[in-house]
Every structure is written in structure tokens, then in C-alpha cells.
Amino acid sequence: METPMYKLAAAACFSALLSTMPVSVSANGQKYQTREHSIVVEKMVGRLKEPWALAFLPGGDMLVTERGGRLLLIDSKKFQKHSVAGVPKVAAGGQGGLLDVAVDPEFATNRTIYLSYSEPGSGGTRGTAVMRARLEAGTGRPALKDARVIFQQQPKVSGGRHFGSRIVVARDGTLFVTLGDRGVRKEAQNLKTHFGKVVRINKDGTVPADNPFKSESNALPEIYSFGHRNPQGATLNPATGRLWTLSHGARGGDEINRPQAGKNYGWPTISYGRHYSGGKIGIGTEAPGMEQPVHYWDPSIAPSGLTFYSGDLFPKWRGNLFAGALKDQLISRLEISNGRVTGEEQILKGQYGRIRDIRQGPNGAIWFVNDKNRGGLFRILPGK
């Protein structure tokens, strides 16, 4: 069982960090030595334009979103790209666009996927939305059918910041969706808006009966937890089924949290960072009724993408948490014990640009996408 969240002083308590440097080049990729494993990083697909998210279909084929609004189906044999028709119109600009993709656990029978994106509104406004659709991929061009918007962040506002957004299918079949504060900081504490929240919905967009605020007149019923800044990573711990999230701080204060129903995670009242101007955020790092992060970074690494490792290819990494980083251009490997972060190793720093998403593949390889105009899809395998 995971222990309650705790406050851990910034990286001073951790074992030494390692910025992995290449040791050799193989025919199939670049070799590196990490603290626990020798690895090879292979570029499997190139010429991606700002890839944002990666998801695996049964059998190993992949879906990749590009922030500009294109969804790609990539076959796992020849790694060819196929553009998917029927993708919703997105408000691409700033940090918005086509964002996350998630595959229904029953995809083999229902062909269902979920997309999050910045949805255009009237007068130049936009907000994070979630669409459900059926993926048809026969002999012709793959396409989304029976598309339906099942969630819309309220209200829509102008501006191009802090959309979130990750989608996680929980073990009970509900969906967690992470939502940024849209740059309107105080609204993360307002239960009458979706800004700075993790919401929980059923697969059809209805509200689960046991949501913490469903019966409260002064709160939106979809809200599961609140006080988040801009969560761009989310995953389930495969050992416990618990949700973990990863959120951008400002100047410092990036956070990993384990959101619980009805709990307040503090933004912008408390934070371990400062405003970009250097000014103080809120009242400090603690306040009654507000939760502490599992882990935080100060200075910020600008994290995005989050996954637990449970495969067989890297046995010494089982149970570890992996996070990508944009500003620091690295992958953070976090050692976890009883729900606590006990060590960190930073790998591939500066080698592959901004790491936007990271996932474990079906056979235990680790995959990531780097977010730039000539971005790519990469695979990490054991070195020999």
C-alpha cells in the first residue's frame, strides 16, 4: 500500500544525478550507459511536426498526435505514417492544439479512442475538450467515426496557455482528465470552473455517482481534485491503480502528485516555486487543508509525459516512474518506494531535445516523442 504523500526537500536528499552521455553508436541507434542499464536509443519515425502524445493499440501499432491538429496511425512493422481523417477542429496556437490520445482498454472490441484538444469558441476563446470516437483502419485511409464531444472545459477564455491535458482510463472504466488553469491562477481554487482541476467522467461524459462534488450546489460535478497549475503528465501506478500526475510549476515548483477525491493541491496559494518575475507565489509552501506534493523540482525542468515502468526488458527499473522534460531536455527516472520518491537519475540530457511524452510499449521498450517541427518517435532498448 502506498504511504501518504510527503514533503521532500529539493534534490539535495537524492543520490547523485547522472546526465547520460553517449558511449558509442550502433548500427541501429545511439548507445548510452545509465546507472542501472546500458541502453540503445533508436529513432523509429522522423519528420513529425510538434508531436504531443503517444498511445499503443493492441498488436503494437501506435497513435501519435501533432499539436497542429494531425493524428497519425503508425504501423509497428514498417513504421509508416498514416494520417487519420475525422479529427476535430482544434485551436492551434500558443500551448493549444491537438493534445493527448488514449486508447480504451476494450479497443479490440469497441475500437474506441479519446482525444483531448483546445476547442475553439466564440470571439477567439478556447478551452480544453475531450472527444470520443471509433477508429476505423481498414484498407482505405484510417478515420474516426461516430465522434462525440464528451467533455468541455467551462468557461472558455482567450489566451494560449495552460490547457493541460492528459487522459487516463481508470481501472473502474472512468476517465481522468487533467486541466490547466488557463493562466487565470486564482480559478484553480474556484470549484465553479474547471480551471486547474483533475476531472473524472464516465466514458459517455456523464458524471460518476461517487464524484466528490456531485451533490454540492457550489461546485462543478466533474471535479475530482483541484489546485493544480498545468498538469501535462498523468498515469496509473500499475501496482495500485492509483492516479499520479505531473504539473508544471512557474519558476521552480514542478510537482508530482497523487490526486485524491476532493483534495486541494494548493495552487496558487502554496507553491515551491516563484513567479517568472521572481516574485513570491501565494503564502509560502504549506497551508492547512492543502496537500503536499510527492516530489517537486526547483529549479524547474518543465516536465511533460509520465509513465510507470513494469516491463521485463529493464528489470532494475521495474516500479520506477519516468517523466519527460521540455526545458531541461531530459528524461527523469524516479525511484519509488512505498509511494515516495527515494532517488532520481536524469538521463539523455540535451541529447534529443524537448521530451513531450513518454510511454512503456507492449514488449517492455520505453518510447518517447520529442516536441519540435522535425520531431521524432524514439525507442529505448537494452544495450548489448
Active site residues: 162
Residue type, 321: L
C-alpha 52/C-alpha 54 separation (Å) is 7
Helix/strand/coil for 76: coil
In order of 205, 245, 285, 290, the CA distances from 293 in angstroms are 29, 10, 10, 10
Contact 364, 313 (CB under 8 A): yes
Contact 383, 34 (CB under 8 A): no
In terms of DSSP bridges, do strands 175-178 and 167-169 run parallel, antiparallel, or are they unpaired? antiparallel
C-alpha 9/C-alpha 285 separation (Å) is 11
Q: Output b/e per residue, 233-255; b: 16+ Cβ within 10 A.
A: bbbbbeeeebbbbbbbbbbbbbb
The residue assigned the cell 524537448 is: 354
Taking 3-state DSSP, the helix, strand and coil percentages for the chain, each rounded to the nearest 5, stand at: 5, 45, 50
- The secondary structure of residue 320, as a DSSP letter, is -
C-alpha 238/C-alpha 79 separation (Å) is 28
C-alpha 128/C-alpha 194 separation (Å) is 9
Q: Which three cell numbers stand for residue 320?
A: 520506477
